[in-house]
Structure 1
Amino acid sequence: MSRKAFTAEGAVAVGPYSHAVESGDLVYLSGQTPIDAATGRLVEGDISAQTEQCFKNLFQVLAAAVLTPEHVVKVNVFLTDMANFSAMNEVYKAQFSEPYPARTTIGVASLPLGAQVELEMIARRGR
């Protein structure tokens, strides 16, 4: 099976992976950490700033696949400190409208480059 991959300007890959891969009607977006593409470094600031940058990166990937946040059906959130859940959730809530995508939030020991948060998505074409 060949993969149809999408690469987004302004989103950074820190390893050998595609920003997104399409399979049928589904588009799987790789996890994005809060890297500012202009500097190649993590954004300065708290969990809110880092979560906003993750969404900025992911929404650029969605746009490269000709999709919008309305196409997102599932989000996985990885936090290095579950005490940041409420602040992350406030930023998250502002990114989508109801009904919200399904979501899983997982506490992890660490993330690439010392990030506090990483987000990944699954989007669906059509309807």
Structure 2
Amino acid sequence: MSPKEEINYGTTYNQAFKYSQAIKKGQIITISGQVGWDKEGKLVGRGDFRAQAEQAIQNIKACVEAAGGTLDDVVDLLSFLPDMRYVEELVEVVGKQFKEPYPSHTAVGVTALAEPGLLLEMRAIAVLG
């Protein structure tokens, strides 16, 4: 049985909140919810859904690459949106960032996210190989 390995792409804010950006066990990588924060924890694109979605996917990409994979290894996405009117824009961004066959993807409406100003949170699962 392979050990559980913490994956971090250079952020420090996860230490304050007591979680791992990602965990790799065997060939499976589970990636914590990613938002429109840069490596320093600063919000990218306040009020700009597309900018936040692109940043969240770049953060997912950074996690997968730190574990030795690529975005092609992502098999599942779960998105949380406090405003479901952004679903169409989310589909556009995902369609530009991922190739066919696309990951499975579920979008869930929520009442709030971790910080005011966040418009999206995305978690992901990747399988290497």
**Same fold? TM cut 0.5:** yes
State the partner residue of 1:67: 69
State the partner residue of 1:105: 107
Uncovered stretches (5+) of structure 1, i.e. residues with no partner:
none
State the partner residue of 1:55: 57
Please report how far the alpha carbon of residue 41 of structure 1 lies from its aligned counterpart in structure 2 after TM superposition: 1.8
SS in 1 for 2:97: coil
Alignment RMSD (CA, Å): 1.7
Matched letter for residue 4 of structure 2: R
State the partner residue of 2:4: 3
SS in 1 for 2:107: strand
CA shift digits 1:54-86 (9 cap, x unpaired): 011111111110110110110111111001111
Matched, 1:19 2:21: yes
Q: 1:116 aligns with which of 103, 119, 122?
A: 119
Q: Distance in 1 between matches of 2:25 and 2:111?
A: 31
Q: Distance in 2 between matches of 1:10 and 1:60?
A: 10
Matched letter for residue 24 of structure 1: G
Matched letter for residue 104 of structure 2: A
Residues 47 and 119 in structure 2, CA contact (< 8 A), matched pair in contact too: no
Give the TM-score normalised by the residue count of structure 2: 0.88
Give the TM-score normalised by the residue count of structure 1: 0.90
State the partner residue of 1:125: 128
Matched letter for residue 9 of structure 1: G
Uncovered stretches (5+) of structure 2, i.e. residues with no partner:
none
SS in 2 for 1:104: strand
Deviates more, 1:45-54 or 1:4-13: 4-13
Q: Distance in 1 between matches of 2:9 and 2:74?
A: 17
Q: Distance in 1 between matches of 2:21 and 2:77?
A: 15
Please report how far the alpha carbon of residue 96 of structure 1 lies from its aligned counterpart in structure 2 after TM superposition: 0.7
Please report how far the alpha carbon of residue 11 of structure 1 lies from its aligned counterpart in structure 2 after TM superposition: 7.7
Distance 1:104 1:7, change over 3 A: same
State the partner residue of 2:43: 42
Matched letter for residue 8 of structure 2: T
**How many residues are treated as equivalent by the alignment?**
125
Distance 1:34 1:96, change over 3 A: same
Aligned structure 1 segments of 4 or more residues deviating by more than 4 angstroms: none
Aligned-residue sequence identity (percent) comes to 35
Deviates more, 1:18-27 or 1:48-57: 18-27
